[in-house]
Structure 1
Amino acid sequence: MILVLGALIALGPLTIDMYLPALPAIAEDLNTPSSAVQLTLAGTLVGLALGQLVIGPLSDIVGRRLPLIVGTGVHILASLACIVAPNIAVLGGLRVIQGLGAAAAAVVAMAIVRDLFSGRAAATVLSRLMLVMGVAPVLAPSLGGAVLLVGSWRLVFAALAIMGVALMTLAIVSLRESLPPERRRASGVMPVLRTYRSLLRDTQFVVLVMVAALAMSALFAYVAGSSFVLQEEFGLDEQQFAIVFAAGAISLIGASQLNVLLLGRFAPVQIVLSALSFGVVAGAIMVVLAVTEVGGMAGFVVPLWFVLGAVGFVMPNAPALALSRHGEAAGGAAALLGAAQFGLGAIVAPIVGALGNDAIAVSTTMVATSAAALIALGSVTVLSARR
């Protein structure tokens, strides 16, 4: 079960990360600036965000399996269409549709976790899922780099289509319905709107969602700018970039697994507060080294790994804290969570490009989002203590 859910959640990161080594090649082949190519990444995140807002509540109404199967089918078709995209505008539009399809896998998997687990148990399961899901950002750029050795960037999307078919088959064969008819919500637009209104009235839920989204945005800032920083600024080739990117992902995965042990001694909110504080300090060091150009690539990469490690502690705990507040609307809650994470990522990714796509732009954006997450969590912690 956990392996299947992890594979489904991994579809989003695979869709985002696998083509990262090809971004400079896409810019050259389609004769477009790097900032425009970066918008295709933002488009994917927009699709992931919007898709979850629709598919999450829909899965509360019709069950988990049907939206999952249809969504992965959409992802497969969009991936195939990306292979023949004639220009950056068409590619960007198809990436939005691709994100919409991947959203089904992500939000349904999260809702299934909430159907079956709650509280610390949910945080523990999410940490286990992070290990499975974490393989995606480790392998995706390496797989993309390997594909580029034998073909053009278009072949990357053929590989994504094949993976989509494999995941759809796995879901059909392995996943049973986790939401029986008697636990489903009423159909129609108004029940969906009432669900969202109820969720958005919960201040602590909203703040916890923003903490998760801001922490994830630090990761997306790195994803958006890493290929340009490491390949163009520091001179790595596509395969070397994949290795460095994988090392950062391993830092994130290691932290998420250490989190399982820490949950036996500390509350999730304590872990998140400590991790964000550490991440802000490491991020500030990264900014200073980038501005002063001290340490070269090591001055960028080493503190970056510590920031990613901090994110690895936040990613399983903040969502678990948020989702634990609304078990009766797990699909809608997971949808708002995912929409906030990917929607904010869609805003952050172009900001990195606008700031210059360099080490300073990436490090500044990462520390800013981490600091904002720390402030948000601090505020909700103070409010809870006063009550």
Structure 2
Amino acid sequence: MNRWLVQPQKYLGPFGLVALLVVTSLVTPLSLDMYTPAVPHMTEYFETDAGTVNLTLAGYYLFFAIGLLVFGPTSDRYGRKPVLLAGMLAYTAASALCATAPDIWMLIGMRVVQALGAGAVSAVSTAIVKDAIIPKKREAILSIVQVMFVVGPVLAPVVGALILQVADWHMTFWTLSGIGLVCAVLSLLYRETLPTQARYQGTVFGSIAQLGTVAKNKGFTSFLCIVGLYNLPFMAYIAVGSYIYITFFGLSELEYSYFFAIAALLTAIGPLIWLKASRYVSARRFTTIIIVIALASGIAMMMVGEISPYLFCATFLVFAIMEACVRPYSTNILLSQQEGDTGAASSLINFAHTAIGCAGMVLAVLPWPNYIVGVGAIIVLSMAVAAISWFALLRSGIPLIGVKDADPSAPAHPATAAKDRR
């Protein structure tokens, strides 16, 4: 597996590097969703209202997005390791301080620091994949890493609920601090993958300004907007899933956690489906197929999802698997659009998914007839927009490496190459 690496990792080795990327990819979903079951307890503990406690979530979202935009380009200037290690140490310390916060305002402040650290880690870890992994193996590693972004938000509330069975909300943040400490140790062992000569040579403000340069790449921005639409209904489901299973269908909290956990585990097959399908079908055709299937799943949810929790779960699971399918290869295609500025590109990728996901959570709580209809409608509308935009992009003169042009990082499968030329 050493031959997968652009340069050897003396201390981590190839498996250690993959472990670092996997664990860092879990930091964000765990930080966002693992403590949500404890929110009612925190309201009572701090003797405050739900709106104030919810600032710990809203503040995290806001400053996580800021961290993504600032620290990815910064790593193009100073290297991946300093930014990764600083972000991880800040995250670890802030998580511990969250656990010991004497009042709600201290907790909100430490969540802001925690979010900035997580933003740095998320932006840099995606950039490391392009830096460290040889092109033809990149999608395989991205398949492992990206599935954590899909499974994590679904499993995190379940883990949080289990923690509350044996401890209180403090333990949630101690757990996050422990995960951060593991990441910090791995970060220390990580060997820098961005050579000095390949770094941005201007000022740090100039490196941040490279976000605009990347965003002006029409192929990058167009494709990012299309694949980002999958996050809209996915995060809508995360936002209202508990209400659907517990309030609408009348399940217990334990039964609800079973449905969430099963969906998460089955969703993990998505990247494996792409790895298998990529031997026979091009990314261009595969993207078309999964948009159609995802659209059909939304229609099915609106038609039969209210009948039983099993039918609702099944229809959503089809969509979730399609979302998991698209992440690895779409991230690889997006990174391939830029020869340099990988940190900036990584920042924009993660920022777009976060921002679109936030919009999905807002749309989910609009006054729909019920939340099942709402999630189904969001799937249908977002996938309809994705389909229209996708076909418009294919017919346009905008270049898209790996889809409309030869991709130097793609595996040399003759059948796939022939399909790509169609």
Structure 2 length as normaliser, TM-score?
Answer: 0.81
2:356 — aligned with what?
344
Give yes or no for contact 2:234–2:360 (8 Å, CA) kept in 1. Answer: no
Shift of 1:351: 2.7
1:58 — aligned with what?
74
Task: Specify every segment of 5 or more residues in structure 2 that has no aligned partner in the other structure, as ranges.
Answer: 1-16, 405-422
Shift of 1:154: 3.5
1:279 — aligned with what?
294
1:365 — aligned with what?
378
Letter in 2 for 1:220: M
Shift of 1:172: 1.5
SS in structure 1 at match of 2:201: coil
Query: Sequence identity of aligned pairs in percent?
Result: 26
| Alignment partners' CA distance in 2, 1:90 and 1:365 | 36
Kindly indicate whether residue 19 of structure 2 is the aligned counterpart of residue 3 of structure 1. Answer: yes
Give yes or no for contact 1:283–1:303 (8 Å, CA) kept in 2. Answer: yes
**1:190–1:144 Cα change, 3 Å:** closer
Shift of 1:354: 3.8
2:279 — aligned with what?
264
When structure 1 is superposed on structure 2, of 62-71 and 312-321 the one drifting more is 312-321
**1:370–1:21 Cα change, 3 Å:** farther
Select the structure that is richer in helix. 1
What whole-Å deviation, never above 9, does each CA across 1:274-330 have from its counterpart, x for those lacking one?
Answer: 11211111012212335xx3x132232110111101101111122211111103111
| Alignment partners' CA distance in 2, 1:347 and 1:156 | 26
Say how many residue pairs are matched: 381
When structure 1 is superposed on structure 2, of 128-137 and 372-381 the one drifting more is 128-137
**1:12–1:230 Cα change, 3 Å:** same
More relative contact order, 1 or 2 (CA 8 Å, 6+ apart): 1
Kindly indicate whether residue 332 of structure 2 is the aligned counterpart of residue 320 of structure 1. Answer: yes
| Alignment partners' CA distance in 2, 1:254 and 1:69 | 31
Shift of 1:364: 2.6
Write the mapping of 1:1-387 to structure 2, written as runs, cut at 5 A: 1-23=17-39, 32=49, 40-83=56-99, 84=101, 86-87=103-104, 94-117=110-133, 121-131=137-147, 136-137=152-153, 139-173=155-189, 175-290=190-305, 293=306, 295-355=307-367, 358-384=371-397
| Alignment partners' CA distance in 2, 1:256 and 1:279 | 15
**1:217–1:101 Cα change, 3 Å:** farther
| Alignment partners' CA distance in 1, 2:366 and 2:138 | 38
Shift of 1:378: 2.4
**1:156–1:239 Cα change, 3 Å:** farther
| Alignment partners' CA distance in 2, 1:272 and 1:97 | 38
Of structures 1 and 2, the larger Rg is shown by: 2
SS in structure 1 at match of 2:230: helix
SS in structure 2 at match of 1:147: helix
Shift of 1:201: 1.6
Letter in 2 for 1:65: K
| Alignment partners' CA distance in 2, 1:222 and 1:9 | 20
Shift of 1:120: 5.3
SS in structure 1 at match of 2:269: helix
| Alignment partners' CA distance in 2, 1:44 and 1:348 | 17
Letter in 2 for 1:126: L
User: RMSD between aligned alpha carbons?
Assistant: 2.8
Structure 1 length as normaliser, TM-score?
Answer: 0.87
